[in-house]
Amino acid sequence: MKTEFFINNRAKFIERMDDYSTAVFFSGKAPRESADQQYSFSVDRNFFYLTGIDREDMVLVISKIAGNVDETLYIQPVNEHFEKWYGILMRKEEAIKISGIKTVENRNDFLTKFSSKLSSADRPDNVYIFSYITDVEEPYDCYRSFANWLRNQHPTVIIKNSLDIMIELRSSKSEEEVEEIKTAIGYTNEALQFVMKNLKPGMYEYQVRADFEYQLMLRNSKPSFTTIAASSGNAVILHYVDLQRKMADDDLILLDLGALSNYYASDITRTYPVNGKFTQRQKDIYNIVLGAQDVTFDAMHVGASEKDVNNRVKAYFAKELKTLKFIKDDSEVDKYYYHSIGHPLGLDVHDYIRRDKTMQENNVYTVEPGLYIKEEGIGIRIEDNVWVTKNGIINLSKDIIKTVSDIENFMNK
């Protein structure tokens, strides 16, 4: 991605931060998995959004004091021993080139320099750190240990959360970001075509996952989240990840999966007949879910509330389920449709949710109606990724086939 994109993101952040403030962003560290193994590193998405860099243990500091802006990036110093074992660390010149940040310092000096800044004449009153989902069971992350240090060493400084600014910036996608999501959708489409060609009774669910992820790896991509491959009755479990079942003739398989392109995610669900042909019952329910997508697309526009859109879908499902004699009253719809219609998508698969929960220009959402008939072992979800524009919505994943006839024709070609 272009350096200008990241420079622009920081400019937008600076515009929104209070004067006499400093904001700190950490790139993060991989947690330990066992005695001598680390989980693979995945960069903090806000750090990436503001710098374009995806390396471990870096710190971005942005200051606005009396209107004067200062940006400093702290990176790990060159360490020959480390490089012999793990790879080449990022050099100053490269960090400047990718991020457009002119001042790059040694990571080991961060706390000392930050501390002296807080005691100087041009000190900030506020320090922005970032907090989103806090879970007391989770180990301390970089922000928490930094917040503790701040409270101990500089108890009068005001700690603010940069969450609201990041929600505003990240929920409004630039064209460049939409292009990345489209690329991620393209990988997903190609990998799904390979999956469909290989799919047959007798395969295990984990083999379908392997087919999908192998195709992503061939494209230097990877899954945007843990691949869900749920056959038959397993598909009524929304986040089913066990994948041990051997598939039989006449099974459906629900695949909820996605790929990454420069950390931008796609999140797609398709439901296929394992033997290449839907039964009449499967087809009937499948087409109801497909119809729910159209109801959703019609309801989505700039200013629409997520709740209203979901209620339209629920009303549609209730009507269809009553016709099929599954339910007698609208209130029973939750038995067969028990999630909501979608979520914002971007650098995170579940991107930040706006506080007012309305759809705004340049938001990207998933649209994922589903019906889950436990008593018949049928679970069907169809999920696309949609861009909200002032001229209406654009389905970014319309090329991934989904009608009954298109799926059957493709699988039997």
348 binds Mn ion (CB under 5 A): no
Nearer to Mn ion, 341 or 378 (CB): 341
E-assigned strands of 244-402? 252-257, 260-261, 264-265, 268-273, 364-367, 370-373, 378-381, 384-389, 392-395
Which 159-188 positions form the footprint of Mn ion (CB under 5 A)? none
Beta carbon of residue 228, minimum distance to Mn ion (angstroms, whole number)? 7
Which part of the chain contacts Mn ion (CB under 5 A), choosing from 111-119, 129-137, 266-274, 307-315? 266-274
Give φ, ψ of 33 to 5 degrees. Answer: -100, -40
Which part of the chain contacts Mn ion (CB under 5 A), choosing from 4-12, 78-86, 255-263, 317-325? 255-263
Nearer to Mn ion, 124 or 344 (CB): 344
- In single-letter form, the type of residue at position 76 comes to Q
DSSP string of 132-165?
A: -S--TTSPP-HHHHHHHHHHHH-TTSEEEE-HHH
Nearer to Mn ion, 44 or 267 (CB): 267
Beta carbon of residue 221, minimum distance to Mn ion (angstroms, whole number)? 16
Q: Identify the three-state secondary structure at position 365.
A: strand
- Measured between alpha carbons, how far is residue 59 from residues 26, 43, 146, 212, 266 in Å? 5, 12, 11, 35, 28
- Measured between alpha carbons, how far is residue 51 from residues 2, 27, 59, 71, 108 in Å? 11, 10, 10, 11, 19
Nearer to Mn ion, 267 or 384 (CB): 267
* 199: DSSP letter: -
267 binds Mn ion (CB under 5 A): yes
384 binds Mn ion (CB under 5 A): no
The dihedral sign for the CA sequence 154, 156, 157, 160: positive
351 binds Mn ion (CB under 5 A): no
Which part of the chain contacts Mn ion (CB under 5 A), choosing from 29-37, 206-214, 252-260, 322-330? 252-260
Give φ, ψ of 398 to 5 degrees. Answer: -65, -20
Residue whose tokens read 């180990």: 139
Beta carbon of residue 129, minimum distance to Mn ion (angstroms, whole number)? 30
Residue 101: which H helix or E strand, with range?
A: none
Nearer to Mn ion, 62 or 265 (CB): 265
Beta carbon of residue 337, minimum distance to Mn ion (angstroms, whole number)? 15
* 302: DSSP letter: T
Nearer to Mn ion, 59 or 184 (CB): 184
Residue 166: CB atoms within 10 Å: 22
Beta carbon of residue 382, minimum distance to Mn ion (angstroms, whole number)? 10
Nearer to Mn ion, 75 or 347 (CB): 347
Which part of the chain contacts Mn ion (CB under 5 A), choosing from 87-95, 206-214, 254-262, 333-341? 254-262
256 binds Mn ion (CB under 5 A): yes
Q: Identify the three-state secondary structure at position 71.
A: strand
Q: What does the binding site for Mn ion look like in residue numbers (CB under 5 A)?
A: 256, 267
